[in-house]
Amino acid sequence: MAKRVSHWNDGCPVARALDVIGDWWSLLIIRDAFDGVRRFGEFQNSLGIAKGMLATRLRDLTERGILKTAPASDGTAYREYVLTKKGSGLFLVIVALRQWGEEHLYTANEPRSSMIDRETRAPVPRLELHGKNGRRLTWRDTEVLKVVRK
């Protein structure tokens, strides 16, 4: 009676995406992966997640093609979890969340991590959406065309 509902077949890419990475932990694991975390224990330390949860999340994300396992880069017999191409496609989701969080959830002098351009060492500017003609688009400039819902 209480199985979580799936949105996979809603015909909406947002819903389908959330069906895959919309739980409480997945995006945090993926964020860590972008930051270079690779080993089970590293994820656990970084996130403070229960081992059981982490194990099932890593398995699910791997099954879903977002992470893949690789032999440990330090020569030991352990394995590592790294982002696939599909997984690294979530970069802009993380960036958008980060920028929204910075802008709306922090007071001016509260300490927080920040994302910089590796080359210039400057903070990464705000993401922007542009139309084909180069015009900047806000949510009022867009519209979603629905598809028949099955």
Partner DNA sequence: CAATCTGGTCTTAAAATAGAACTAGAATTC
Partner DNA sequence: GAATTCTAGTTCTATTTTAAGACCAGATTG
Q: Which is nearer to DNA, 62 or 99 (CB)?
A: 62
Q: Judged by CB, which is closer to DNA: 23, or 102?
A: 23
**Short-list 103, 91, 99, 97, CA closest to 35:** 91
Nearer to a copy of itself by Cβ, of 72 and 127: the residue is 127
C-alpha–C-alpha distance, residues 9 and 78, integer Å: 38
**Under the criterion CB under 8 A, does residue 143 sit at the interface with a copy of itself?**
yes
In the complex, least distance from residue 82 CB atom to DNA, rounded to whole angstroms: 13
Backbone angles phi, psi at 127, to 5 degrees: -60, 145
52 binds DNA (CB under 7 A): yes
Q: How far apart are CA 150 and CA 65, in angstroms?
A: 26
Long-range contacts of 17-22 (CB under 8 A, 24+ apart): 20/64, 20/66, 21/61, 21/66, 21/90, 21/93
In angstroms, give the least distance from the CB of 51 to DNA. Answer: 4
CB of 18 or CB of 62, closer to a copy of itself: 18
Q: Does 41 bind a copy of itself (CB under 8 A)?
A: no
Figure out which of the listed residues 28, 32, 39, 46 binds DNA, where binding follows CB under 7 A. 39
Span from 55-63, 74-82, 107-115 in contact with a copy of itself (CB under 8 A)? 107-115
Q: Shortest approach of a copy of itself to residue 51 CB, angstroms?
A: 14
The angle subtended at Cα 83 by Cα 79 and Cα 86, nearest 5°, is 140
Copy the structure tokens of residue 114: 């920040």
Which has the closest alpha carbon to 115: 125, 128, 106, 107?
125
Q: How many residues bind DNA (CB under 7 A)?
A: 27
For a copy of itself, the closer CB: 48 or 75? 48
